[in-house]
C-alpha cells in the first residue's frame, strides 16, 4: 500500500515540476520580447526596460525559473500588469466562483450519470436502455457553450426564471449567487453526464459478463442485488478514471462557459489575461489549474486503492 501511494505521489510531483517547466518555457519561447508583447507596439524603450526589470527578465533563465517556482510555492504569484494588484488577490476573488461552479457541475454529472448507467446496464438491450443511451449519445454531441446559449434562451430570456448572466457575488446572499450558477453548472454537467453514463453502463455490462457474477447468482441473489452488491464496485475503476479526466474538462469548460455567462471566475480571468497579454497572470493561473488537475488525478489513483484490494496489497 505505502509503496503504491509513494509511487503515485512521486509521479504526481514529477509531473508537477515538469508542467511548471513547460508553462515557464512556453512563455519564454514566445516570439519576441514578452515585455514588448505585453506593452504593445507603441511603448517606448524605457517603458519596456522598466517592465523587463519588473518581471526580472534580465536575470539568467535558470535563476528566473527558480525565482518564479519559489514564488509559486510561497503563494507569491507576482503582480498583474493590467490590474496592478497581486495575482493572488485576483485568484482569491475569482476562485470562489469557479470552484463552486466546477464542484456543482461534477456533483450534478455524477448524480445523473451513475443511476442512468445502472438503469441501462440492468436493462441491457431493452427499450429503456436504448432510449437512455440514445439520449446519452445526443448529450455527448452537444457543445456545452451552445447548450448554454439554448438554456439562456429558454430559462432566462423566455421563462425569466434565472438571470442570463453575471454574478452578484456571495455577499448578495447564497441563493442569488447560487441561482446565477445553476444554468452554467447544468450546461457544463449535462454533456459530461452523458459521457459518464455511457462509461458506467459499458463498465457494468463488462463486469456483468464476469464469472463471479454467475457465482453470485448461483448463491440465490436476485439480479438487482447482484448489480448493486457485486457489479457496481467492480465497475468503479473506469468510472473513477473518467471522473478524473472530466475534472480537467470541467476546468477547461469553465473558460468558455464563464465567458458565455459573464461569470467573474478563474476561466474568464485567464482568458482575459491571455487576450490582454498579461503573461504574469496567465503563467500563475495556468499553473494553478494544472496543479489542480494533477491533484485530482492523484486523488483518483488513491481511490483506486480504496476500491480494489489488489492494488492495496501490491507491495
Partner 1 sequence: MSLLEIQRLSLSIGDTPILRDVELSVAPSEVMGLVGESGSGKSITALTVMRLLPWAARATGRVVFDGIDILAASEDQMCALRGDDIGMVFQEPMTALNPVKTIGEQVAEGIRWHTRASRADAEDRARKMLDRVGLPSAKFPLSRYPHELSGGQRQRVVIAIACALKPKLLIADEPTTALDVVLQAQILDLLRDLVAENRMGLLLISHDLAVVTEMADRITILRHGEVMEAGDTARTLSEQLHPYTRQLAQASMHVPARARAHEVGQDNPQLQAANPLLQVAKPLLQVESLTRDYPGRRKSLLKRAAPIRAVVDVSFSIDPGQSVALVGRSGCGKSTLARMVLALDGPTSGTIRFRDQVITGKSEAELKPARRDMQVVFQDPYGSFDPRQKVEKLVAEPLHVLGKKPTNAERREMVAKALHEVGLSPRDMDKYPHEFSGGQRQRLSIARAIITRPKLVVADEPVSALDVSIRAQILDLFAELNQKLGVAYLFITHDLTVARAITDQVMVMHDGKIVERGRTSDVLDHPQSEPAKALVTAAPDLHRAIARRLQEQG
Partner 2 sequence: MTLRFDIPEENFADILVKAFTNRSFLTGFAITIVVAAVAIVSFFWTPFDVTRLIIADKTQAPSPAHWFGTDHFGRDILSMIMVGARNSIAVALVAVGIGMGVGVPLGAFAAARGGIVDEAVMRLNDLVFAFPALLSAIMITAIFGPGALNAIIAIGIFNIPVFARVARAGTLAIWPREFILAARAAGKGKTLITLEHVLPNIVTLLLVQGTIQFALGILAEAGLSYVGLGTQPPMPSWGRMLFDAQTRMVAAPWMAIFPGMAIVVTVLGLNLLGDGIADILDPKSRRQR
Q: Tell me how far apart the alpha carbons of residues 129 and 269 are, in angstroms, rounded to a whole number.
A: 42
246 lines the binding site for partner 1 (CB under 8 A): no
| Contact criterion met (CB below 8 Å) for 121 and 208 | yes
Least distance (Å) between residue 85 CB and partner 2: 22
Stretch that binds partner 1, among 64-72, 173-181, 183-191, 217-225 (CB under 8 A): 217-225
Q: Which residues pair with 79 in a beta bridge?
A: 86
Q: Tell me how far apart the alpha carbons of residues 198 and 143 are, in angstroms, rounded to a whole number.
A: 17
Chain residues 154-213 in contact with partner 1, contact rule CB under 8 A: 210-212
Q: Tell me how far apart the alpha carbons of residues 301 and 204 are, in angstroms, rounded to a whole number.
A: 20
Nearest to 199 by CA among 126, 112, 312: 112
Nearest to 135 by CA among 157, 148, 119, 151: 119
Chain residues 6-65 in contact with partner 2, contact rule CB under 8 A: 11, 14-16, 18-19, 22, 26-27, 30-31
Q: Which residues pair with 86 in a beta bridge?
A: 79
* 18 touches, from partner 2, partner 1, none (C-beta below 5 to 8 Å by class): partner 2
**Within 10 A of 290 (CB to CB), how many other CB atoms are there?**
18
Phi, psi dihedrals of residue 79, rounded to the nearest 5°: -110, 140
* 211 touches, from partner 1, partner 2, none (C-beta below 5 to 8 Å by class): partner 1
228 lines the binding site for partner 1 (CB under 8 A): no
Residues that bind partner 1 (CB under 8 A): 2-3, 6, 125, 210-212, 214-222, 225, 229-230, 233-234, 307-310, 313-315
Residues that bind partner 2 (CB under 8 A): 11, 14-16, 18-19, 22, 26-27, 30-31, 137-138, 140-143, 145-146, 149-150, 152-153, 157, 209, 241, 245, 248-249, 251-253, 255-256, 259-260, 270-271, 274-275, 282, 286, 289-290, 293-294, 297
Amino acid at each position: 500500500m505505502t509503496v503504491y501511494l509513494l509511487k503515485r505521489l512521486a509521479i504526481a510531483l514529477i509531473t508537477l515540476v515538469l508542467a511548471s517547466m513547460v508553462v515557464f518555457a512556453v512563455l519564454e519561447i514566445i516570439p519576441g520580447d514578452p515585455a514588448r508583447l505585453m506593452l504593445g507596439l507603441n511603448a517606448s524603450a524605457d517603458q519596456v526596460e522598466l517592465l523587463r526589470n519588473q518581471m526580472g527578465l534580465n536575470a539568467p533563465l535558470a535563476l528566473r525559473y527558480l525565482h518564479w517556482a519559489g514564488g509559486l510555492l510561497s503563494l507569491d504569484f507576482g503582480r498583474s500588469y493590467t490590474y496592478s494588484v497581486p495575482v493572488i488577490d485576483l485568484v482569491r476573488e475569482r476562485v470562489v466562483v469557479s470552484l463552486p461552479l466546477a464542484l456543482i457541475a461534477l456533483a450534478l454529472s455524477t448524480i445523473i450519470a451513475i443511476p442512468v448507467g445502472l438503469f441501462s446496464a440492468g436493462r441491457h438491450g431493452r427499450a429503456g436502455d436504448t432510449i437512455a443511451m440514445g439520449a446519452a449519445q445526443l448529450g455527448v454531441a452537444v457543445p456545452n457553450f451552445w447548450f448554454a446559449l439554448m438554456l439562456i434562451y429558454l430559462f432566462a430570456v423566455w421563462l425569466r426564471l434565472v438571470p442570463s448572466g453575471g454574478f452578484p457575488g456571495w455577499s448578495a446572499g447564497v441563493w442569488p449567487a447560487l441561482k446565477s450558477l445553476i444554468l452554467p453548472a447544468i450546461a457544463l454537467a449535462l454533456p459530461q453526464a452523458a459521457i459518464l453514463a455511457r462509461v458506467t453502463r459499458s463498465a457494468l455490462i463488462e463486469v456483468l459478463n464476469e464469472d463471479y457474477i454467475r457465482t453470485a447468482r448461483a448463491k440465490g441473489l436476485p439480479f438487482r442485488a447482484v448489480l448493486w452488491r457485486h457489479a457496481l464496485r467492480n465497475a468503479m475503476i473506469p468510472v473513477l478514471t473518467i471522473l478524473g479526466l472530466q475534472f480537467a474538462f470541467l476546468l477547461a469548460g469553465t473558460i468558455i462557459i464563464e465567458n458565455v455567462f459573464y461569470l467573474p471566475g478563474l476561466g474568464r480571468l485567464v482568458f482575459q489575461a491571455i487576450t490582454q497579454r498579461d503573461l504574469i497572470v496567465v503563467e500563475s493561473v495556468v499553473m494553478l489549474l494544472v496543479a489542480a488537475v494533477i491533484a485530482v488525478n492523484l486523488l483518483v489513483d488513491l481511490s483506486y486503492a480504496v476500491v480494489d484490494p489488489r492494488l492495496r496489497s501490491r507491495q
